[in-house]
Amino acid sequence: MATIVARPGKTGTRYTAQIRTKGHTEAKTFSTKTAAKDWARRREIELKDKPHLAGTEAHKRTLADAIDRYTKDVLPSLSDSAQRDRPPILAWWREHYGKTTLAAFQAPQIAEARDTLRRTPKQRGTGTLTPATVNKRLLILSHLLSTAAKEWHWIPVNPMAGVNLLKVDNASERYLSKEEMAALLRACRESESPYLLPIVLVALTTGARDMEIRGLRWRDVDLERGTVTFGRTKNGETRSAGLVPEVVELLKPRKGAPATLVFPGKVNPDKPALIRTAWETALQRAGIEGFRFHDLRHTAASYLAMSGATLPELAGALGHKTLAMVKRYSHLNEQHIRSVTDRLAAVVDSADA
């Protein structure tokens, strides 16, 4: 028997149809209730007439089985940052839902997990996990389930199709004022960490991400030309940027072999240095609250927009494949354009006086 669930959203109500046959559950989302009913009716007939389509692998395999295969076969082919970030998230899914068969692990269970994550306290600081953090865990699960459906054929479809991500309020992202920026850089110069100041300067002047910077090797840096190349970015593409003179001068005495890290760890030089403690200390000294390292990227983008950079220029500088991710800064560009217009109007008025 099929059930149809209405799911209101920003773009209107969508309808998730879920069918259950003996030992099998399947769901799919549609823009209209009629389409959802039609699909459910056809799918029930298909599963009745062709029992082998019920997905025997889905009954034999658990989510833990899928996570283990994903970790062994898929994870090594992903970027360095993915190989670092995904195992703890996959471990969470394994701990809480690993014993569940893939046939039983459907949209309602995933939605329940989403809501549980939303109420989970942060490991550091106060409050609960942010919507962006919860969505990241859901998207990693979705990639796993999509692989299980499309490549391994363990399940008919990815059940994440019936689950809504949480709404992320990009307005909560902040950028440093010029006064805050000056205070932060003073604190970084006073830091005991030899890497904090150059890392923060690179982040502020290139908009690069934390691991893009800390993962740099000397072959990626040209101190003579004052340039840096980020080779393993989040979107998988290479991009180059300029280095400000202060960074070049800070790095010159430390230059090492091409394959070695620019910012090596103290205990293990083959792994990037850890700067969390130094970073948090610098924020406290500068009197800056509610600011994350990733917000340095937003700071760089915001000042680029206010300097008159176009959306394509912002996308290129930040390494985004599409303009959608940089549209959040368009209002800052519009403020700049308005300021220029006002200044031109003042010139015209003075000439006409």
| pLDDT tens-place string over residues 49-69 | 544 444 578 888 999 999 999
Q: Is the pLDDT of residue 336 over 60?
A: no
Q: How confident is the model at residue 230 (pLDDT cuts 50, 70, 90)?
A: confident
Q: Give the model confidence (pLDDT) of 93-122 as tens digits.
A: 999 999 998 988 988 889 999 999 999 888
Q: How confident is the model at residue 314 (pLDDT cuts 50, 70, 90)?
A: low
Mean pLDDT of 79-88: 82
Mean pLDDT of 262-287: 92
Is 128 or 90 the better-scoring residue by pLDDT?
90
Mean pLDDT of 298-318: 70
Q: Where are the domains of the chain?
A: 1-54, 56-168, 178-302
Q: Give the model confidence (pLDDT) of 197-207 as tens digits.
A: 999 999 988 88
Q: Is the pLDDT of residue 337 over 50?
A: no
Distance in angstroms (rounded) separating the CA atoms of residues 318 and 299: 12
Q: Which residue has the tokens 């939303």?
A: 118
Q: How confident is the model at residue 223 (pLDDT cuts 50, 70, 90)?
A: very high
Alpha helices in 156-275 (DSSP H): 178-189, 196-206, 210-214, 245-251
Q: Looking at residue 77, what DSSP letter applies?
A: G
Is residue 184 within 8 Å of 201, Cβ to Cβ?
A: no
Q: Return the CATH number of 178-302, one of 1.10.10.10, 3.30.470.10, 1.10.443.10, 3.30.300.20.
A: 1.10.443.10
Q: Would you call 34 helix, strand, or coil by DSSP?
A: helix
CA distances for 202 relative to 14, 15, 97, 156, 242, angstroms: 44, 46, 41, 46, 9
Is 11 or 179 the better-scoring residue by pLDDT?
179
Q: How confident is the model at residue 47 (pLDDT cuts 50, 70, 90)?
A: low
CATH of segment(s) 56-168: 1.10.150
- Return the pLDDT at 29: 86
Q: How confident is the model at residue 329 (pLDDT cuts 50, 70, 90)?
A: low
Contacts of 309 (CB under 8 A, 6+ apart): 317, 333
CA distances for 77 relative to 19, 66, 71, 73, 271, angstroms: 35, 16, 10, 8, 19
Q: What percent of the chain has pLDDT over 70?
A: 77
- List of E strands, the chain: 3-7, 14-21, 24-30, 221-222, 227-230, 239-242
Q: What are the structure tokens assigned to 85, written together?
A: 């970030």
Distance in angstroms (rounded) separating the CA atoms of residues 58 and 45: 19
- Return the pLDDT at 341: 47
196-206 and 295-306 helices, crossing angle to 10°? 40
